[in-house]
Structure 1
Amino acid sequence: MSTRMLLQLLATLLVLPYLFPIVVMLQGALSGRGWGNFRAVLAIDAVPTFFKSSAIIAACTIVIVWALTMAAAFGFAKLPVRGKEVYFWLMVVALTLPEVVLLTPLFATTVHIGLYDTYGAVILPLAAVQLPFTVLLARNYVAGIPDQLFEAARVDGAGALAAFRYIVLPMTRPIAAAIVVLVLINSWNDYLLPLVMLQDPAKQTVTLLPQYFVSQFSNDQTKVLASAVITAVPEIVAYLCLQRLFERGLAAGALK
């Protein structure tokens, strides 16, 4: 058996554990009334509001994480910042803190500063939780940019801001695409923060949509699964659109 066939077999075996739940979810969503389950979910008046809230939270989180990640990666990788290695590893330590551990202090802080029941109460913690990992990826990618480019820019009179704009941003599009996809998935799928931080029904997100079909007296699993499939569509579309850049950026950010 050739090496290529062995790799294909290994890839298939690795995919199967992830593919099986998806197949089960689709089968459950189409059982009973079939496509009528999807129509029943989309007929709920709150669905457009849920998607709007999730889109606002995801878009704002992506912008914040992308801007801060690129700036921090440039500083950690290329700028002569005093003690930057200490700051970097202190930030990496934050990767060990799960979101649920931070929930109580985050809730108390948002109430104290008046952000409770606003989009900011979800967006800012979501961005903060994801920044350590995205900076870790982007720093490795930016470190792989040749120093000669920055030296040539300095000879031409360009400062750090110009180098960031004309060298770093154009050359980091693959890792930026990977960051966009990762942040979109994490912010779109987040359940805990919207549940705790948002009280107004008009600000609820799509992750709370399945609750419409689960109550004390009913538990319609077909519509729960149909709503799960519907909420996953934007993420799938985003990944397919950015697939090449995502894979290039993720691989380069992990290996450089």
Structure 2
Amino acid sequence: MSTVRSRHHRAAHVADIARLLPAIVWAIAILVPLLFLLFISVRTTAAYGAAPLAFPETFEISNYIAAWNQGAIPIAFLNTIIITAASIIGVVLLAPMAAYGIARWRGRGGGGFYVYFVLGLIVPFQLGLPLLFKLFAGAGLTDTLPGVIVVQIGAGLPLAVFLYTGFLRSVPLELEEAAHIDGAGDLRTFVSIVFPLLRPVTATVVILTAITVWNDLIVSLFFLSTPGNQTLPLATIGFRSLISNNQPVIFACAVITVLPIIVLFIVLQRFFISGLTQGALRG
């Protein structure tokens, strides 16, 4: 009897490992490049030239100082923070209200609007950038941060509305009906009752929007030309051509670029998976 139990226990253990194996492989594939990025960024140029993949014997913080002081990295960092923060605020303000209207629409129109937003996930928004550039040029929004912010908000709305709508369809109507009985209007009901329930999805939307906007290069290439308006992806390209012979400093610049997004994900990670699955599966 004990032998049978032991075999059953081993089989269950092997099955657990088999289920975790893809996640382990994926984690290694993500972490190893990040570790090499970090290790190279704190090495001297001579040590890197002698053994590029060796573990650093000394940690050269001066590489980060050099990366920050050379080129347009500081102003690009500030511009990217402004664009990313404003885009997140815009998406988080507009998407829940649009999704709330779609989820609670009693006629057929709600489904039509929902399909309209879902099409935004299928058709790449980059196809419309030439037309947007002409429209923005007429409105004086080219080579401005507000112009890029408007584009990023529009690009982020389809996925955000999709996730919010899926989650809102699972929220019981009884909560809103009770608020209406107490005399609350639709806006107050949404702000006081519904929106606080959306925190997991909101955290997911914040992370996805931040990653997309922070790393975006195409929109910045289209709309920004003045060096003072550059974002980090644009500044990083110029930085690499400026000091192409100093790889550790270039890697330090890369660490500066990706560090804020990594910190944001670590802070909000406990909401990320639940918000993504609840919003997508129920949609």
In the alignment, structure 1 residue 77 sits paired with structure 2 residue 128: no
Partner of 1:137: 163
Letter in 1 for 2:16: R
Partner of 1:224: 250
Which structure's CA Rg is the greater one?
2
Distance verdict in 2 for CA 1:158–1:38, change over 3 Å: same
Q: Kindly indicate whether the alpha-carbon contact (under 8 Å) linking 1:122 and 1:193 is maintained by their aligned counterparts in 2.
A: yes
TM-score, structure 2 length as denominator? 0.82
1:214 partner SS? helix
Partner of 1:115: 141
TM-score, structure 1 length as denominator? 0.90
Match of 1:214 among 229, 233, 240: 240
Deviation for aligned residue 1:40: 1.5
Partner of 1:171: 197
1:13 partner SS? helix
Letter in 2 for 1:146: P
Match of 1:249 among 275, 279, 283: 275
- Count, aligned residues: 256
Q: Kindly indicate whether the alpha-carbon contact (under 8 Å) linking 1:213 and 1:219 is maintained by their aligned counterparts in 2.
A: no
Distance verdict in 2 for CA 1:28–1:81, change over 3 Å: farther
Q: Which range moved further: 25-34 or 191-200?
A: 25-34
Match of 1:12 among 15, 24, 31: 24
Letter in 1 for 2:224: L
Letter in 2 for 1:131: L
Deviation for aligned residue 1:224: 2.9
In the alignment, structure 1 residue 43 sits paired with structure 2 residue 69: yes
Distance verdict in 2 for CA 1:21–1:101, change over 3 Å: farther
Partner of 1:86: 112
Deviation for aligned residue 1:219: 5.4
Distance verdict in 2 for CA 1:215–1:247, change over 3 Å: same
- Between the aligned partners of 2:42 and 2:126, the Cα distance in structure 1 is 34
Q: Percent identity?
A: 35
Letter in 2 for 1:46: A
Unpaired runs of 5+ residues, structure 2, are 1-10, 46-59
- Between the aligned partners of 2:246 and 2:91, the Cα distance in structure 1 is 37
Unpaired runs of 5+ residues, structure 1, are none
RMSD (Å) for aligned C-alpha atoms: 2.1
Q: Which range moved further: 43-52 or 226-235?
A: 43-52
